Structure 1
């Protein structure tokens, strides 16, 4: 029996290895060729840091990176506040329509959200730019924050809140002194998730960005249309590094939220 059970396990491990190789080998190639001492990505010539030096001297990329950072910070802050309130409402009222309303954008295709937001901005005569991008990012990040907060609430011992009320605390005091500290890991995790999604977003930003409001993903796309140079690999590597750092921090802060 043990011998028969070993073969499926080995096949499962082998299949998992193939899948992970398919996912991560292209990323490893991008990182490797960002240090390639050649303008062409056809073959490895030698090691160099010059593409990173050139990258930090490129005004367009630095401007796009600054835009992405500002947009991600503001979007994450607003989405965290609104998403926390939405998560509390979903948990308290337990209405299916409310859950569908808040969490619906998570399941919708990005291109559909982007086109819908573009039409809305045109309808209400909103000038496309930094403001429209921030509003767009907040709209799809709220659901992820609400999901993180709701998951945290589901695992919280409600008897602690009831005990605080029995000891004379008002509803607001019970929320501020008991519920909010217990929710803090979920709120932080949701905020970091919103920041990561915002700084990496391309499709929705593509439809809602205006002239002079290019973000880093949009700038990378415009560079790739010409050629995939080592400079493109360098900026992609840095963006990948930022994303991995945030995801690692997110998993350490609230592993329960990620599992749920």
Structure 2
């Protein structure tokens, strides 16, 4: 883990994050922090971080886009170069979801915080953060958008929430720093151990995963819908769904939308 970060200008507002990032770049506005970091990654080291509180064209899975009012959300992207073996890549977005859930839970101790598989972070059943992991020339960029100061009226759907809607004030620097540290530690453990079980990652993720033990509906690319109960995580991070006694492992890349029974889509 790096011990130095850029500390000029706006980075002074993020001393904790600057201390754990290889380099911290804070911008007043960004169309997409993932895309902007990708454009700067040629000489960027592992754990380079780019963040903003005004993302104008954020992207999620399936190329969904959204905008948020300036100052109402934290958008952060992290460049990862120290990666596990290719057969463990599926754990990277899950590890990111778990790291952000831990970061959010640290500031909302009186609420239920967990992960809707694969990596949406929910507070009391409502989405507070979405995460997108993308391959980038042998590296991975993990981006996260956290609803911080967004009011109840500004939330895009009724199934979303924010720190402000919960009556809390988010510490942006602490969220970002805790996220970077948690993500980095999960990957360090995964690289050292060689697999998610030996690293303790599958057990930790199952403890944070709100989907397990509950009915889910998974919309598949061919238009079919898999209905059943989420019963566990496979060794490679896929979600195991029991459908009428038949167990199927669903990969994140094959899922259009997986939701807890009774929820409406979060995008």
Query: Same fold by TM (over 0.5)?
Result: no
More helix by share: 1
User: Under a length normalisation based on structure 2, what TM-score does the superposition of the two structures give?
Assistant: 0.23
More strand by share: 2
User: Under a length normalisation based on structure 1, what TM-score does the superposition of the two structures give?
Assistant: 0.24
- Give the structure with higher Rg (CA): 1
